[in-house]
Structure 1
């Protein structure tokens, strides 16, 4: 049901008398705001000849004052010359020099203008802290980039979750999902947070060459070996290898990382026939747990391909 309102002429007269003054007042306020915005800011200046305090206009940004106002003349302003600026309304006798220089590992973001000083930012690959630009941090193996660094913040890293890995140190790369083995292949070496899954078959390893070398290197790099046993392995086989890494007369490192680097370097160039005797070498170096793990991989391959010959001796 519609609601219909009826007003008498006397009612409309009263409404008009109330609204018109309010509208007039609002119009005046809005006009006043516009006037205020267009009027430049001022400052007080005491005229040296008359001792009278004058209200002088300031100079706009990009200008400076060349003469104070007088009782008969306004403030005199002039544009800033090259490589100088004023950012605010002012009554400075001269403009400010663009003194912000871009230092090492910085580049110009905004060049000096009449109204702004030069603005610098860190170059690509660097971020600002304590007024210096530092190289973005790299996320090490087992960790990926969660948030890439910017010119203002450093790289944010996160540990790779289950099913993902990162094997490099990088300020750009995120964790990558482990590969899924194709049909006819098995997981020879499981993936970890710093290694991808190594897929293959018995035939894959029986071909020897780089495929066998890749498997052996991946197998060693995934193991946790005691320093004493690693040292025994190196002393027993790498020292004596005619084509291996020459370490005779040198002192072996005492940390696991450098020792593993020596082993991986030797595996990358050791004769293939020597690699096939790996189970025997592991047994002689008291690395029996590794020998057992290697046997498990070979057994898994034989289950998939019963007629395939093991690439290793004594397994």
Structure 2
């Protein structure tokens, strides 16, 4: 019973293996000849072309190629080609350009993903969180809270949580790392001397202690920080990197003046601890 079904399949397979091409019949459509009234089987035009004239009893269908910016993707008897109407604007970019046989294909730009026919920017993982799975053109970013021993101090759609650094020989932990900041290494004397160690220490301290927006605004206002169009905490961190050292040494008082008494006490306490561990250090606490 199976033999008649298998033979044609084997025949077609052997023809393909021998290099013979399988010829598919040209699709047709019915058309009534306006002169004779006869129903004709007219061949359709192939993809990339349109019908310029119906067939007659003596002539086949007349086809013409699509002009630039137009297409047909199926066998057809359309009187004109279709316009390539997919316009890749805004957050879209061209994946495949319009051709005689295909409409233009758009995709979301790098950093965006498709949802409900819109291109939406990938979510950024905030401080304390890193990227578990990067976003694609079809999916959003997946974030994860930084585990113990790792941190993230920025908002990013691509950055992973980073392992806390280990202090080298001769250095001590000036500030323990948190989910928001790296471990700050150095010596009491390097902290007392100011410079990069002091700036890094204070930056890590502010990253590690999350403040309410209202309190941050008050600190920014009290400290007369220059206005910037950026997140408030980033604004403070930028200021710490550039401010004169005499300003940095007054930060405990500036925190107190901004009603950030708890933060001011924590900063003074940590500085006292570092001083006590190094009695000969020249570090002074205001």
TM-score by structure 1 length? 0.68
Aligned to 2:281: 309
Offset at residue 262 of structure 1 (A): 7.1
Q: Cα RMSD between the aligned structures?
A: 4.4
Which has the higher mean CA deviation after the structures are superposed, 22-31 or 208-217?
A: 22-31
Distance between the aligned counterparts of 2:213 and 2:114, measured in 1? 41
Aligned to 1:219: 205
- 2:209–2:263 contact (8 Å) kept in structure 1: no
Q: What runs of 5+ residues in structure 2 fail to find an aligned partner? A: 226-230
**1:183 and 2:157 aligned:** no
Offset at residue 269 of structure 1 (A): 3.8
**1:91 and 2:77 aligned:** yes
2:249 to 275, 289, 302: 275
Structure 1 residues 221 and 69: alpha-carbon distance in aligned structure 2, compared to 1, 3 A threshold: closer
Residue-pair matches, total: 276
The SS at the match of 1:215 is: helix
- 1:223–1:290 contact (8 Å) kept in structure 2: no
Offset at residue 272 of structure 1 (A): 3.4
Structure 1 residues 289 and 51: alpha-carbon distance in aligned structure 2, compared to 1, 3 A threshold: closer
Offset at residue 132 of structure 1 (A): 3.4
- 2:271–2:285 contact (8 Å) kept in structure 1: no
Which has the higher mean CA deviation after the structures are superposed, 267-276 or 104-113?
A: 267-276
Distance between the aligned counterparts of 1:72 and 1:204, measured in 2? 98
Q: Whose radius of gyration is greater, 1 or 2?
A: 1
2:181 to 195, 208, 212: 195
1:112 to 95, 98, 111: 98
- 1:217–1:268 contact (8 Å) kept in structure 2: no
**1:151 and 2:125 aligned:** no
**1:245 and 2:217 aligned:** no
- 1:205–1:211 contact (8 Å) kept in structure 2: yes
Structure 1 residues 65 and 126: alpha-carbon distance in aligned structure 2, compared to 1, 3 A threshold: same
